[in-house]
Each structure stands twice: as C-alpha cells, then as structure tokens.
C-alpha cells in the first residue's frame, strides 16, 4: 500500500459489478469506516457512564446501528443532549472486513514490497474473524465452589431460562426456554404461553420482571402486583430498578400451569435467585399432574460441562499487613474419564484449558470487608467456551510481524534514499 495506485480503478468504463468491487476495495471507504468506528468507540465509551458495560456492548458494538444519546457535560455547565444515529459495531466491522479482504488482500499488489502490509492485513482479518466467531459461537458463565465440592455445570452471569422439570426417579427430564422469550410479558396484561403436544398442561408466563425481589404479603399492606396464595402464604414480586451491572439483576415472573384436562390451574411466583456456592440444590415450584411430579424453575442459564471439576484447595495471600490480595489460586481435580482425575493448578493469568472450555481464576469469597470471614473459602472461576480462544494471540504475532517488516523495510529504504541525503543540512 505504498501509494494511491493500489486502490485506483482502471480508467476504462466500469461494469456495475466492477464499480461495486471497486467501492468495496476502496481505501477511502477504509478511512470512512475507520472514522465511523472511531466515533462509535468514543460514543460507546462515554455511554458506559450512564448505561453500564453490558448494555453498551450489546447496543453499540454488537448492533447494526444505534442512536447515541450524547448527555455530554460541557465546560459551561450545560449538558450537550443530542440524539445521533450511528452505525453499530457489527455493521462497521463487517464492512471493514469485506473492505480489508477485497481491497487490502485480494486487490492488493502481491509483491515483496507489500509483503509486510499484506501480512498485517491478514492478521487484522484473523482478528475480526476471531471476534465474529466469539460473538456467535461462544458462551461464558461461572462456577463457584467451596473447597471439597465439585460440579458438572456452569452458570450464566447474565441470562435466565425457565426450566420445566419432570421427576424421573433420581433423574430429571428437563426442557427449557430462554428468558428472552418472556420480555414481551414485562407489560401486563401480556403473557407468554408455552405448550407442547406431549405435555398435559400449558404454562402461562406473565408479569416478567428483569430485576425484582420476592415478598410475602402481610395482612397490613396492599400491593399493585398480583399476589399468589398457595396455602403457605401469599406471595408477590416487588420490582427493583435494573442495575447497571447486569449480573446483579435477579429476574422473576408469575406462572400459571393450566391442565389440559379439567383446566385446573396451579399458580406460583418464580424468582431466579442463585445461591451458589452456598446452596447447590435448586428448589423448583412443584406441582402434580396426573400422578407425575413436575417442577418449574426460573434460573440463570445452566450449561453442562464435558467434565467434572472438584475444588481441592483454595489459597490466597495478602500483601503483608494489608487486605490487598497478592495472589489467589485454586487447586482443582478434573474428572474427564480417568476415575481418579487429574490435578490442575489454576491461578491468575494461568487458566485451565480443557475440552474447548477455559477456566479462569476470577474471584473468591468471602471477600475482605464482607460480613463473612474465610476460611472456608470458595473460589470463583469464569468459564468460557470459545472456539476462537487463541486466535487473537496468533493474530497479534502476525500483525506485529507484518508491520515490522513493512516499516523497517521503509526505514532502510529511507536511510539509503537520495532524498534523505539531499535534505541533510550542511554543518561545519
């Protein structure tokens, strides 16, 4: 990419297809997209002050377009409040990727002079592909374990699901629906009805709340929310304003199970509180239909791991005389076939990578300053399943190599060039 020539279309009258390809290959398009990306990044960074990381990530960087609500304080004490439509990160990066492939690689002159640039572009391309794969094919959650405890599942940070459980001896047979399906039920009187031909009942979900807490209704006060009585008491959900950090929200909803035969109804309040690592069991709303025991559980999305993990030991040390953690690490045993398992040490910046899953030491408890004191400790791992886990690392090496080759070659050419010698001042 040494000069304008690389991107200039030939002078002959172009066919429409040709014109499109030319546009896609254009370096000017690159610049426009980069500037749009810069504005979006700036806007998204500022927006995090008001909207929190999760929402901004979803609305700005993983979307096709977004309306930026500036809310920018100006030096003179007034806020700049504008609504600016912007291209979202998904569109910009997709377009940049096409532009990069067509203009930066396919249409680029393949010669030694451009080798560095070509390699760097390939690296950037790999990075973008890695991001795309991560967005569409990865999921992440966490595992929290007390010492001595083991698990076979990981739990989402943000997302909820409704699980329908049928008791089958020791086992359960479960069906799930992601909670995104219930967002339409956030406004009364809307509801979502769940049905399947082989089920003897329908489940109607209503009164969806993104963040709420359950309450027992006493005789002395009234509430606007629906109240469910079940013989043990009267219960309702109290809405709580959603938190900026989305993982702090606990969703809740009302469910009505309607039997297909006889139209008998079972009503309940569900709340997605997750007490891991204190409570490992889930307690579903239980109901009986035709002699079978069923349960409904609103929970953070659960994924099964391809192996079991047991936390053997958690250790942390503080900087002496302070409560500032110097390091913390976990010794776990991974059971993925062999009966006795294999021991693994997970610590800061040294995750466990196994069966496409990566375990990162991310936290522990009880934290200093909280009302509980350790030991016993629990350890928290963030768990990610990401097929493109290591690609960015390779991409960074490729890009570095490309840029070094290019700019060092340029520097050498410059040092040997006649221009430099011509411009050197004379000194005595």
Q: Is 265 in the site for another protein (CB under 8 A)?
A: no
Helix orientation angle between 16-25 and 27-51, rounded to the nearest 10 degrees = 60
Cα–Cα distance for residue pair 190/182, rounded to 1 Å = 10
Asked whether the beta carbons of 65 and 87 are under 8 A apart, the reply is yes
Site for another protein in 357-386 (CB under 8 A): 358, 360, 362-367, 369-373, 375-376, 378, 380, 382-384
Cβ closest to another protein, residue 146 vs residue 331:
146
Given candidates 191, 256, 333, 354, which one binds another protein under the rule CB under 8 A?
Answer: 191
Q: Is 345 in the site for another protein (CB under 8 A)?
A: no
Residue 86 CB neighbour total at 10 angstroms = 20
Cα–Cα distance for residue pair 283/299, rounded to 1 Å = 10
Cis omega before residue 397 (within 30°)?
no
Given candidates 14, 19, 183, 292, which one binds another protein under the rule CB under 8 A?
Answer: 183
DSSP category for residue 388: T
Given candidates 115, 129, 133, 166, which one binds another protein under the rule CB under 8 A?
Answer: 166
Site for another protein in 31-60 (CB under 8 A): 31, 34-35, 37-38, 41-42, 44-46, 48-49, 53, 56-60
Cβ closest to another protein, residue 18 vs residue 326:
326
Residue of 319, 325, 401, 413 whose CA lies nearest to 364: 325
Given candidates 69, 174, 312, 315, which one binds another protein under the rule CB under 8 A?
Answer: 174
Q: Is 87 in the site for another protein (CB under 8 A)?
A: no
Asked whether the beta carbons of 302 and 284 are under 8 A apart, the reply is no
DSSP category for residue 88: -
Q: How far is the CB of 247 from another protein (least distance, A)?
A: 5
Tell me the pairing of strands 212-216 and 228-229. unpaired
Cβ closest to another protein, residue 113 vs residue 271:
271
Q: Which stretch binds another protein (CB under 8 A): 13-21, 61-69, 78-86, 257-265?
A: 61-69
Q: How far is the CB of 18 from another protein (least distance, A)?
A: 19
Given candidates 68, 254, 314, 328, which one binds another protein under the rule CB under 8 A?
Answer: 328
Strand ranges (DSSP E) for 91-245? 139-146, 150-168, 171-178, 191-194, 201-209, 212-216, 228-229, 234-239
Q: Is 186 in the site for another protein (CB under 8 A)?
A: no
Q: Is 85 in the site for another protein (CB under 8 A)?
A: no
Provide the mask over 102-141, with x wherever binding to another protein is found by CB under 8 A and - wherever it is not: -------------------------x--xx--xxx---x-
Q: How far is the CB of 394 from another protein (least distance, A)?
A: 10
The answer to whether the Cα torsion of 222, 223, 228, 233 is positive or negative is negative
Residue of 185, 135, 189, 136 whose CA lies nearest to 160: 185
Asked whether the beta carbons of 40 and 64 are under 8 A apart, the reply is no
Q: Is 11 in the site for another protein (CB under 8 A)?
A: no
Provide the mask over 288-327, with x wherever binding to another protein is found by CB under 8 A and - wherever it is not: -----x-x------x-x---x---------xxxxx-xxxx
């Amino acid at each position: 990419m040494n000069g304008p020539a690389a991107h200039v279309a030939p002078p002959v009258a172009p066919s429409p297809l040709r014109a499109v390809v030319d546009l896609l290959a254009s370096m000017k398009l690159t610049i426009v997209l980069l500037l749009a990306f810069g504005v979006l990044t700036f806007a998204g960074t500022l927006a995090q002050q008001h909207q929190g990381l999760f929402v901004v990530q979803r609305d700005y960087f993983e979307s096709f377009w977004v309306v930026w609500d500036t809310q920018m304080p100006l030096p003179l004490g007034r806020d700049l409040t504008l609504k600016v439509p912007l291209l979202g990160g998904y569109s910009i990066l997709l377009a940049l990727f096409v532009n990069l492939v067509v203009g930066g690689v396919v249409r680029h002159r393949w010669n030694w002079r451009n080798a560095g640039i070509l390699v760097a572009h390939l690296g950037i391309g790999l990075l973008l592909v890695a991001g795309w794969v991560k967005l569409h094919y990865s999921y992440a959650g966490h595992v929290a374990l007390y010492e001595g405890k083991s698990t076979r599942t990981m739990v989402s940070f943000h997302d909820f699901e409704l699980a329908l459980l049928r008791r089958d001896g020791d086992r359960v047979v479960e069906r799930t629906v992601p909670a995104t399906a219930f967002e339409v039920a956030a406004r009364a009187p809307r509801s979502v009805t769940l049905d399947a031909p082989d089920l003897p009942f329908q489940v109607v979900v209503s009164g969806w709340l993104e963040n709420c807490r359950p309450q027992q209704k006493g005789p002395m006060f009234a509430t606007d929310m629906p109240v469910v009585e079940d013989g043990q008491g009267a219960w309702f959900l109290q809405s709580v304003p959603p938190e900026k950090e989305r993982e702090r929200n606990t969703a809740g909803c009302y469910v009505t199970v309607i039997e297909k035969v006889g139209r008998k109804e079972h009503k309940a309040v569900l709340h997605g509180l997750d007490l891991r690592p204190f409570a490992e069991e889930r307690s579903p709303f239980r109901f009986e239909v035709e002699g079978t025991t069923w349960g409904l559980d609103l929970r953070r999305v659960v994924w099964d791991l391809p192996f079991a993990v047991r936390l053997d030991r958690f250790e942390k040390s503080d900087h002496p005389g302070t409560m500032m953690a110097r390091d913390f690490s976990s010794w776990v045993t991974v059971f993925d076939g062999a009966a006795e398992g294999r021991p693994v040490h997970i610590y800061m910046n040294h995750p466990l990578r196994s069966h496409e899953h990566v375990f990162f030491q991310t936290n522990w408890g009880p934290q200093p300053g909280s009302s509980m004191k350790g030991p016993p400790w629990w350890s928290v791992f963030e768990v990610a399943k990401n097929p493109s886990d290591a690609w960015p690392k390779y991409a960074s090496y490729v890009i570095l190599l490309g840029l070094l080759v290019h700019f060092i070659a340029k520097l050498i050419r410059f040092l040997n060039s006649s221009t430099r010698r011509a411009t050197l001042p004379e000194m005595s």
